[in-house]
Amino acid sequence: MSSLAIHLLWLLIHLVISIFFFVLKIANVLESYLISSGFLKKYESINVGKLRYLAVVVDSEDALQINKVIKLVQWLADIGVKHVCLYDNEGILKKSKDIILKNLSCVKLFEEGDEQSLRGKKTMSLEFASQSDGKEALAKAANLLLKKHLKLRSLGENQEEKIFTEAHMTEALRAVGSGGPEPDLLLVYGPVRCHLGFPAWRLRYTEIVHMGPLKSLKYGSLLKAIYKFTLG
């Protein structure tokens, strides 16, 4: 096969793939519109009670779009989600939490025990997290466990059989202020399909869904992702 034929074949494959993704994008936009407009009735009845805790991971560049983030949180509140964690790697959302909370009257800052206190109320609890709640928190927790071990050893307690379990680490993370609930669902807004550094110990049983860049935020796509999760 000549080099010209190979080149033409490559162009044809590239064209077919481009057309496929273009059609897929149009189909997703149309579906999102139909969901948002209420034409697809099945999305009107979501058992949002199955979604006890939702995490939203936003790429740090997208996190600069604070108005989009506020709109996203408002949509989640309208859907009926009670507990949300907002995460970006660089802590931009953490630094902007006063602005976000000021623009959302139905939202309060997350506190331990909110799951019980907010039951039956039209209020959402909002947690802010960043990379400092990841590796740095893990290092602090490990240091705390080490100090406890050395203290008990100095008191003469036998530590030869001492084994640090997952429960010990969870307790230490809570002690340094980085425990936090495990999300049932994690939505990723950004160019890459990963959790972007969200604390891994909180993702043991979490379902992760990539939503695309924040600039393409659509209510229909958000509703669809939550609906599909509640079917499980």
Q: Could you report the per-residue pLDDT of 145-200, keeping only the tens digit for each? A: 777 767 766 666 555 556 666 667 667 776 666 667 889 999 999 998 888 889 88
Average pLDDT, the chain: 84
What is the mean pLDDT of the segment spanning 9-29?
88
Q: Residue 145: its pLDDT value, please?
A: 75
- Which residues in 106-130 are b (16+ Cβ under 10 Å) and which e? ebbebeeebeeebeeeeebbbbbbb
Q: For the chain, how far is it from start to end, CA to CA, in angstroms?
A: 50
CATH of 46-134+178-231 given 3.40.50.300, 3.40.1180.10, 3.20.20.70, 3.40.50.620? 3.40.1180.10
93 phi and psi angles, rounded to 5 deg: -70, -35
Q: Residue 55: its pLDDT value, please?
A: 96
CB under 8 Å to 141, separation ≥6 — which residues? 169, 172, 173, 175, 176, 178
Q: Token match 């909180």: residue?
A: 202
Q: Which of 220, 232, 191, 227 is nearest to 37 (CA)?
A: 220
49-53, 174-178, 217-221: least confidently modelled range: 174-178
Domain boundaries, the chain: 1-45, 46-134+178-231, 136-172
Q: Residue 6: its pLDDT value, please?
A: 85
76 vs 118 pLDDT, higher one:
76
138 vs 47 pLDDT, higher one:
47
Q: Residue 175: its pLDDT value, please?
A: 67
35-49, 93-107, 215-229: least confidently modelled range: 35-49
Residue 98 has pLDDT above 90, yes or no: yes
Residue-wise pLDDT tens digits, 76-88: 999 999 999 999 9
Q: Residue 228: its pLDDT value, please?
A: 93
Rounded CA-CA distance 231/218 in Å is 21
Residue 201 has pLDDT above 60, yes or no: yes
Which two three-digit tokens encode residue 126? 């909002």
